[in-house]
Amino acid sequence: MTHNNPSQCNGVLCRMWQAFRRPSVKYSVGALLFIGFVAGIVFWGGFNTAMEMTNNEQFCISCHEMKDNVYQEYKNTIHYSNRTGVRATCPDCHVPKEWVHKVIRKIQATNELYHKVMGTIDTREKFLAHRLELAKHVWSVMKKTDSRECRNCHNFEYMDFAEQGRRAVAQHSKGLEEGKTCIDCHKGIAHHLPDMSEVDPTEVVGSH
């Protein structure tokens, strides 16, 4: 146990560790607690602020992969522009609202940073080549979470079927009965679809 003996401790880290372990002789417990409390608020607030900064549309489209591909498609959809002006931006659908799920998703995003560095989808052609795989990831996550992010705004329980069109009423009642989730039917509502011949060959020309 070298760090218990001051005479054998020469390294900077070792001395810092010793200072850290030694009880305070100068400051009261109250003062230390207070400083710790304030510092806690500052660091926690700072951490969440930094996380929120990575959680807005401008941050998402600051990389060209997003801006030139999916963002352009999203601009023509109802989630971008509509009669009431209520919008759902990238993180509203792609980042969970609850803290634990949000942090897990943020940690997963480091994989996306890796692919950004590797240039996995840095051209339109590469993006299109990976499109089906990328879409499948989102679909499977949505399926697993019962379309949790959709339901932050769209909730079966508060849907007024009387206000919906004939087709919507029929489909939604059936979906509710069969325990379906939003993404089962609503694929490609905010972005263009990949080649769907794998999912439903009768929707695509040339497939069987």
Chain contacts with other proteins (rule: CB under 8 A)? 76-78, 165-168, 170-171, 188-189, 192-196, 200-208
Is 104 or 170 the residue whose CB approaches other proteins more closely? 170
Nearer to other proteins, 98 or 203 (CB): 203
- The residue (of 109 and 204) whose beta carbon lies closer to other proteins is 204
What is the b/e burial string over 127-165, where b = at least 16 CB atoms within 10 angstroms of the residue's CB? Answer: beeebbebbeeeeebbeeeebbbbeeeeeeeeeeeeeee
Closest CB 48 distance from other proteins, rounded Å? 36
The Cα 102–Cα 45 span in angstroms is: 16
Q: Is the CA virtual torsion 21, 27, 29, 35 positive or negative?
A: negative
User: What is the C-alpha separation between 47 and 167, in angstroms, rounded?
Assistant: 46
CA-to-CA dists, residue 88 to 75, 166, 182, angstroms: 11, 25, 16
Q: Which two tokens stand for residue 17?
A: 């560790």
Q: Which is nearer to other proteins, 29 or 205 (CB)?
A: 205
Least Cβ distance, residue 94 to other proteins (angstroms): 20
Q: What minimum distance in Å lies between the beta carbon of 123 and other proteins?
A: 18
Spell out the residues 6+ positions from residue 134 whose beta carbon is closer than 8 angstroms to its own: 121, 194
Identity of the residue, 96 or 194, whose beta carbon is nearer to other proteins in the bound complex: 194
Comparing CB distances to other proteins, the nearer of 109 and 128 is: 128
Q: What distance in Å separates the CA atoms of residue 116 and residue 119, rounded to the nearest whole number?
A: 5
CB of 195 to other proteins, least distance (A): 5
Nearest distance from C-beta of residue 115 to other proteins, angstroms = 22
Helix axes 99-118, 29-53, angle to 10 degrees: 60
d(CA 108, CA 115): 12
**Least Cβ distance, residue 64 to other proteins (angstroms):** 22
